Amino acid sequence: KAGVTQTPRYLIKTRGQQVTLSCSPISGHRSVSWYQQTPGQGLQFLFEYFSETQRNKGNFPGRFSGRQFSNSRSEMNVSTLELGDSALYLCASSQTTAGVAQYFGPGTRLTVL
């Protein structure tokens, strides 16, 4: 089976712009979670989608949003980018929600100038 794929792998944006990141889960997986990784804060949970519904959300401002499509692919959007949004954004997929192994993609490296 193909693993989790994320596009694009690298992005450079300027402050105030908006960005959309994409994640395709492992075939058959219905849950997609997003995490932000920074050197200072480590890995922090953004949100989880299961069957096109947001099931859980981390402590991030409303500028961070996401959605999931009927084929389980997910996108996350960050509006009005700030310098502090520079990070590695990781997507994880799992068969169901809660209590099962999660498998991560390679991440999207976002740099905000």
Partner 1 sequence: KQEVTQIPAALSVPEGENLVLNCSFTDSAIYNLQWFRQDPGKGLTSLLLIQSSQREQTSGRLNASLDKSSGRSTLYIAASQPGDSATYLCAVSGGSQGNLIFGKGTKLSVKP
Asked if residue 104 binds partner 1 (CB under 8 A), the reply is yes
Q: How far is the CB of 22 from partner 1 (least distance, A)?
A: 15
The count of chain residues that interact with partner 1, using the rule CB under 8 A, is: 28
| CA dist., res. 22 & res. 71, Å (int) | 13
CA distances from 17 to 13, 77, 112 (A): 7, 11, 9
Amino acid (one-letter) located at 30: R
Supply 54's token pair. 């947001």
Footprint (CB under 8 A) of partner 1, residues 38-97 = 42-43, 45, 48, 55-56, 58, 88, 90, 92, 94, 97
Choice from 12, 83, 98, 113 touching partner 1 (CB under 8 A): 98
How deeply is 71 buried, as exposed, middle or buried, from its count of CB atoms within 10 A (0-12, 13-18, 19+)? exposed
Binding site for partner 1 (CB under 8 A): 4, 6, 31, 33, 35, 42-43, 45, 48, 55-56, 58, 88, 90, 92, 94, 97-107, 109
